[in-house]
């Protein structure tokens, strides 16, 4: 089986192995490099065996089915809250620190491993490494996500995210205080060429739009609600960094905070149309205790 990908303007100039790593996050970079060198990849019909080949906009990349790395997709008893479930879907409250699916850096102990232990059926559209996963949250972002139990539900929910009938709302504590009480952040985002773990604001990137509203102001930080108009990787984290008010505890885009394991970002609200009934379903979960404890220590203004 061959998979085909098109190189868009925001991807031009990117290395072939880096581009494919974004398409196959379950594989390590060295594994993809090895597959390229084995002749598994062609660009515009021409066999390419150099991982560092720079891509041009408009090119088509054909990838033969990649050999599987030894990553666990076995069922594991992992703690997380199932907020709701029926025959088509489940709504999960993911705790901070839990990776959503296996990848090269985390081969087991993920939400997917836990889902396989607790839920009998999951959609197979994303293959054996990401069964049921319609959208993701970063490892250290807590909160709600919806999981599909069959392909019918998966296709419908994915389309809702694309068409914006699925709404996701987040709460975060930012360093310092935003100037405006509410507003829209609109930039173009792309993987950082100097650090592939990061996303940065670049004119050649993909459009990213985030709405924000300040709920509480403290002397040294503020509590802000965010809603997404687009769903780019690390979008809220990059946008708050762009405003020079990164999320408290964000070790990648801000600074590490003693006593916190990661950023204070929580997906507290999720709303979508049920794939089978078209009924609007809305779920909310409270802030984690460590998030509340941090706020209690702050002096409100």
Catalytic residue positions, numbered: 138
Q: Which residues pair with 207 in a beta bridge?
A: 188
- Burial class of residue 281 (count of CB atoms within 10 Å of its CB; 0-12, 13-18, 19+): middle
Cα–Cα distance for residue pair 165/173, rounded to 1 Å: 26
Q: Token digits for 70?
A: 């030894």
3-state secondary structure of 298: coil
Ranges of beta strands (E only) in 219-279 are 221-228, 265-273
Instruction: Compute CA distances 233 → 137, 197, 219, 261, whole Å.
Output: 9, 11, 30, 20
What does the alpha-carbon distance between residue 108 and residue 101 come to, in Å, rounded to a whole number?
8
Name the burial class of residue 165, with classes exposed (0-12), middle (13-18) and buried (19+) by CB atoms within 10 angstroms of its CB: middle
On the CB side of 76, CA atoms within 13 Å amount to 16
Angle between helices 29-37 and 16-23 (to 10 degrees): 120
């Amino acid at each position: 089986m061959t998979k085909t990908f098109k190189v868009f303007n925001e991807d031009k100039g990117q290395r072939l192995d880096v581009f494919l790593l974004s398409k196959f996050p379950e594989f390590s970079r060295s594994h993809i490099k090895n597959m390229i060198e084995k002749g598994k990849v062609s660009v515009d019909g021409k066999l390419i065996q150099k991982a560092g080949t720079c891509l041009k906009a408009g090119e088509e990349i054909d990838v033969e089915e990649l050999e599987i790395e030894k990553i666990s997709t076995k069922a594991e008893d992992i703690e997380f809250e199932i907020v709701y479930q029926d025959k088509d879907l489940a709504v999960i409250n993911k705790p901070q620190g839990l990776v959503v699916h296996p990848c090269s850096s985390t081969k087991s102990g993920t939400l997917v491993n836990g889902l396989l232990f607790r839920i009998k059926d999951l959609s197979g559209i994303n293959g054996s490494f990401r069964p049921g996963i319609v959208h993701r949250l970063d490892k250290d972002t807590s909160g709600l996500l919806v999981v599909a139990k069959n392909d019918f539900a998966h296709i419908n929910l994915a389309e809702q995210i694309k068409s914006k009938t699925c709404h996701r709302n987040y709460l975060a504590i930012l360093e310092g205080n935003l100037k405006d009480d509410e507003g829209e952040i609109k930039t173009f985002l792309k993987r950082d060429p100097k650090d592939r773990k990061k996303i940065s604001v670049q004119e050649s990137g993909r459009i990213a739009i985030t709405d924000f509203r300040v709920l509480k102001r403290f002397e040294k930080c503020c509590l802000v609600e965010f809603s997404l108009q687009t769903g780019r990787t690390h979008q809220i984290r990059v946008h708050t960094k762009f405003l020079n008010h990164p999320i408290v505890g964000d070790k990648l885009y801000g600074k590490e905070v003693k006593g916190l394991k990661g950023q204070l970002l929580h997906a507290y609200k999720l709303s979508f149309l049920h794939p089978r009934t078209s009924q609007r379903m809305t779920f909310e979960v409270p802030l984690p205790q460590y998030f509340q404890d941090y706020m209690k220590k702050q002096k409100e203004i």
